[in-house]
């Protein structure tokens, strides 16, 4: 049988990260590669109680087909929480629950956005570098990617002005994947003003915004111009990724088409998962749970920074110091390529993700991403030391 693939299928490629994760399954490998939340943070007892409660009191509805928009109480929670956080940051955002769409992970939200907004050869703006999963979701729709640079404050707004006709700009302002960088309040204000002037829609992805270490990030971009933005969030980083539960908030004019795309994709996100999460969230659960995650990730980030200071001295490697999230971004010296370093590192028992995977165009091959949240403090010290040894070996030729 001769199967003829659609043109979009030819543009689909395996995830570099998923392929590298297969390597980390080998015994003895310390992995800084995956963007996986620490399983220590999963509230198993709370889910066990919620599971029993939902089955006992709402079992028939939880196991039945349901509305494509999502479970009403969960949509209301999302709306109230976004308004609360944004108001605390100084920009009130009265989110209407009717504009909240529950998705099967935020990855599905990216897929729905791609289907609704991208035509072949549409210009889509992304950060340089950007989230690999977004590139994978957008690519089958055959866009023309244009990368927008940034500095320590965030997106280069002057560079944005050069592309006024793009379909949208996809941006992660808080503890970005892959770099861990965050956008300043000054830059957010400038970006919002310029996007409004250009009539440029923004897709704001915020899976890591709750994972700040000492100070909450500024208010969401979406709160500043609600009709010009789609906002994306997730429960994967604060509760559990295996539930595959995310959401988006869309303008009223756009919401119906995203809902239709959702209906065509999977009818609805699992009812049981939605009800179980809504039950867990009752009584302000996240107010006590999320600070535990922040404290753990902060201690692991500090351990990695200390290990880098100790073992990378004199290697010519530079790195950032994130204020939250899950990732560090390293830049190797000169023309050293991270993809060539990876097998040497794996031989010494440590894995990472080469940074070139996160570029839509003109990849910078001397960059790499380290995740600090799943390794113990002891493993972090051991893994960073092994990585330093691999770099020295490569420099020696």
* DSSP string covering 266-318: HSSS-HHHHHHHHHHHTTTHHHHHHHHHHHHHHHHHHHHHHHHHHH-TTS--E
**pLDDT-based confidence at 31, cuts 50/70/90?**
very high
22 has a pLDDT exceeding 80: no
Range name among 147-161, 224-238, 281-295 with the lowest pLDDT average: 147-161
Specify the pTM.
Answer: 0.95
The predicted model gives 25-48 an average pLDDT of 92
Question: Could you tell me what percent of the chain has a pLDDT over 70?
Answer: 97
Distances 165 to 121, 123, 198, 309, 325 between C-alpha atoms, Å: 12, 7, 8, 44, 32
The predicted model gives 150-156 an average pLDDT of 91
Q: How far apart are CA 271 and CA 64, in angstroms?
A: 7
The predicted model gives 113-137 an average pLDDT of 96
User: What local confidence, expressed as pLDDT, does residue 239 receive?
Assistant: 98
The predicted model gives 198-220 an average pLDDT of 97
Nearest residue to 240 via CA among 35, 50, 38: 38
Which DSSP string do the residues of 140-207 spell out, in sequence order? GG--EEEEE-EETTEE-HHHHTT-TT-SEEEE--SS-TTT-----HHHHHHHHHHHHHHT--EEEE-S
4 has a pLDDT exceeding 90: no
User: What local confidence, expressed as pLDDT, does residue 10 receive?
Assistant: 78
Q: How far apart are CA 17 and CA 371, in angstroms?
A: 12
User: What local confidence, expressed as pLDDT, does residue 34 receive?
Assistant: 84
Q: Are strands 30-31 and 350-351 parallel, antiparallel or unpaired?
A: parallel
Only one residue has tokens 């500024």, namely 218
User: What local confidence, expressed as pLDDT, does residue 2 receive?
Assistant: 83
What structural domains does the chain harbor?
7-42+287-395 (3.90.1150.10), 64-285 (3.40.640.10)
User: What local confidence, expressed as pLDDT, does residue 24 receive?
Assistant: 66
> Which residues, in sequence order, are CB contacts of 191 under 8 Å at separation 6+?
154, 155, 157, 160, 171, 183, 202, 221
Higher pLDDT, 124 or 9: 124
Q: How far apart are CA 107 and CA 146, in angstroms?
A: 21
User: What local confidence, expressed as pLDDT, does residue 92 receive?
Assistant: 95
16 has a pLDDT exceeding 80: no
**pLDDT-based confidence at 336, cuts 50/70/90?**
very high
């Amino acid at each position: 049988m001769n199967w003829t693939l659609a043109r979009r299928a030819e543009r689909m490629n395996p995830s570099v990260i998923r392929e590298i994760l297969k390597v980390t399954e080998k015994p003895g490998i310390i992995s800084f590669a995956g963007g996986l939340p620490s399983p220590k943070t999963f509230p198993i007892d709370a889910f066990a109680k919620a599971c029993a409660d939902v089955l006992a009191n709402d079992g028939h509805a939880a196991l039945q087909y349901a509305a494509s928009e999502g479970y009403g109480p969960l949509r209301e929670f999302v709306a109230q929480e976004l308004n609360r956080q944004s108001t605390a940051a100084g920009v009130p955002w009265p989110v209407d629950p009717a504009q909240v769409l529950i998705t099967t992970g935020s990855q599905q939200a990216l897929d729905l956005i791609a289907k609704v907004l991208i035509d072949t050869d549409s210009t889509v703006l992304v950060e340089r570098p950007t989230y690999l999963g977004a590139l994978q979701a957008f690519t089958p729709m055959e866009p023309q990617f244009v990368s927008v640079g940034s500095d320590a404050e965030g997106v280069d707004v002057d560079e944005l002005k050069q592309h006024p006709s793009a379909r949208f700009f996809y941006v992660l302002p808080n503890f970005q994947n892959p770099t861990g960088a965050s956008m300043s309040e000054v830059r957010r204000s400038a970006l919002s003003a310029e996007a409004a002037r250009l009539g440029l829609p923004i897709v704001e992805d915020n899976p890591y915004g709750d994972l700040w270490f000492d100070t909450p990030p500024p208010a969401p971009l979406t709160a500043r111009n609600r009709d010009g933005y789609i906002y994306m969030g997730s429960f994967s980083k604060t509760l559990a990724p295996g539930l595959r539960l995310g959401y988006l908030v869309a303008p009223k004019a756009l919401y119906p088409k995203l809902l239709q795309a959702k209906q065509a994709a999977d009818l609805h996100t699992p009812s049981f998962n939605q009800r179980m999460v809504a039950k867990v969230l009752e009584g302000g659960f996240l107010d006590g749970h999320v600070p535990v995650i922040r404290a753990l990730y902060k201690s692991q980030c500090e351990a990695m920074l200390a290990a880098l200071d100790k073992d990378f001295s004199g290697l010519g490697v530079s790195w950032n110091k994130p204020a939250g999230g899950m990732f560090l971004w390293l830049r190797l010296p000169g023309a050293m390529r991270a993809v060539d370093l990876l097998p040497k590192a794996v031989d010494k028992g440590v894995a990472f993700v080469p940074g070139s995977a996160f570029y839509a165009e003109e990849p910078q091959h001397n960059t790499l991403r380290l995740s600090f949240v799943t390794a113990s403090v002891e493993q972090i010290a051991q893994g960073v030391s092994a990585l330093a040894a691999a770099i020295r070996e490569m420099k020696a030729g």
